[in-house]
Structure 1
Amino acid sequence: MRCELLDYELPEALIASRPPEERDGARLLLIDRGRGAGEVEHAAIRDLDRHIERGALVIVNDTKVVPARLFGRKRGTGGQVELFLLHRLDGAPAGAEDLGGGPQESAPRSERWRAMGRASKPIRPGSVLDLERDGALVAEVLERAEDGVLTVQLSSTAGLSVAAAIDAYGHVPLPPYLGRGDDASDRERYQTIFARVPGAVAAPTAGLHLSPGLVERLRANGVEIASVTLHVGLGTFQPVTADDLDLHPMHAEVYSIPDATAGAIAAARDRGAPVIAIGTTVVRALETAADPARAGLVRAQSGETRLLIQPGYRFRVVDALLTNFHLPRSTLLALVFAFAGRERTLLAYRAAIDAGYRFYSYGDAMLIRGVDAP
């Protein structure tokens, strides 16, 4: 797919810098793939239970966002520095362990990490970075790769494990397009109510809309809810710069499909119920685990996915999708094009812009249902 086809114009005023006052207070655009392109309905997230059929299976992402941004100074020069944690060198994603926040005598207080660094001058091997309150975390830079990614020895000096110190002193990694730093409210609102497994450096944003009350109403309407884990990585913010999407180096993300969810999908197929993905991260996890021998089913498994979904992809598991509005020239928009069709998606985006919908991570959402029109 030519990448200029992923472009659209968005007034900057429509980028949501804050979430709605209520978690389920966003607007909802309804799209039916069986109707003509450009035919949309306007609704509200809080009424989502009216637009999902009884007996459907809704699948959410239970990843938990880690406060992966750390600020401090270079020892010796005092220069300001920012460190963005990516993953531990043992392969675990950032914070993929208990982050209870209390002292953990038996947990590691020194670990090697991959991280991105930002300062007025390049951060070179041998640099020592005193991070957060009174140097609660210290990072010794061991290596710097050609792409700028750092290998650091991260040590806690606060009587906590490294993971607990990150949780206590780190900052919520808000997307850069929000144009602001995090505050105390983001600790809650940039996290879904399903967040259970630490490891993401960005939120699975469609899931941010689901409130406890809305989930209760869905369940009361016979909707079953299951979960997968996909730790959203820093690559989710990277725009497509190649001329052709096939040449884009898709980032890897860690995922897991539990036995219970694989069984729930099989049961949904048996009763003829649709599988509804809450967000593109759920789509990537389910489609990666699609069982090639059994149509519509998945295998319980864990691993890394580099699946890049673009127009022409044949979806094997997901029947409907709740998703936010995505950035131009992004792999997320390409996935939505693949699911709903490029023309239908762009017409829907135009309708949302004309109606003043709010875009991106803290913005409004769209629900794409129905079978593709012949």
Structure 2
Amino acid sequence: MADNTLTLKFDEISAMALVEKVGKEIILPIVEGAGKSAYAIAVAHGYKGTESEWLESIRGEQGNAGKSAYAIAVAHGYKGTESEWLESIRGEQGNATNAAELLRSKNIYLENTKVDTILTKLIEKLSESGYIADTTFRQLEYTQPRTGQDYIDLTGEPHFKVAVNGGEKREFESDNMRVTIEPFGPKNIELKYYDLNDNEQTTLIIRGTNATADQTETADNGVVYKKFGDELEIDVSNYDGTSIFKFAPRTWEVTAETKKTIKTNKKVVLLLNADSLINNQGGEAVHQFSEHEYVANPELVVFKCQTGVSGLYINIAGEGYRFSYFSMGDKRNPYFVWDMNQNKYVNSATETL
């Protein structure tokens, strides 16, 4: 072996084809120090300290390995500032000069030509113009638990979150989730629903079994109203089916903000007109834009508008399911029935779909 060279020898039997082309000896240069560590190379070039001392020396006074990349660039002739140099090494993919110039031609100010800056400004402008609005997301829904059941099945928007009885927020990985609960009984269950930004969107209360009502009233048509705090439970199991159903009892005030839950143990058709929505003081017990009217057994409860009320709508949902509008002025479709496939109430020409 000569200095800085490696000699490879081949016999004519094992490498005849190669020998015929390049001869019996091939001489290749070797990179000086190949195979040695960086510290060993430094020692070979005269460094006298230990390996630990050498490692400290290359970190530099500020804890960086030698000079910064910018300092090296300057040493090789770069004339700009460090900020300009950083922008230059980001390359064309980090900037959108043509798009920035177009926006500026529209008198839209930009701090720089970075892609992130431009996209942010575009989103702001589109939102201001109404072209980008908050997306419609799936409302929180649940399946009514049975007495003693130790879980609850929920549906909602993927990646939204729900907290049960003030516990930890659980994220929807898909549009459904099963959450463990204490065996369902007398205690209410509170469900708080949060969006992607952890803003609370809604709160649902699943009332426990065997709760004692604060007040009870039975109407002449057989409807039983029970007050539980700020909520109203309306049992229509004994409704006579011939008189007008009202969302509010006679003896205490119910407003459009009062949560009202209709329940029954058999199928009923509730007859409605404009008076159905009025409370005992002549005010609104139901408002067309409120979402406080629920049905615990939506497959058993049908609404029918007796007289067309032009321009009047009410919002009704199955307990734990999404709301939908009932047009009380649609004479061709006077019924409001539960669509099991869509999990919501829909207008219908008949009392069954």
- Would the TM-score normalized by the shorter structure come out above 0.5? no
Q: Which has the larger radius of gyration?
A: 2
TM-score (norm 2): 0.25
Q: TM-score, normalised by structure 1?
A: 0.24
Structure with larger RCO (C-alpha < 8 A, sep 6+): 1
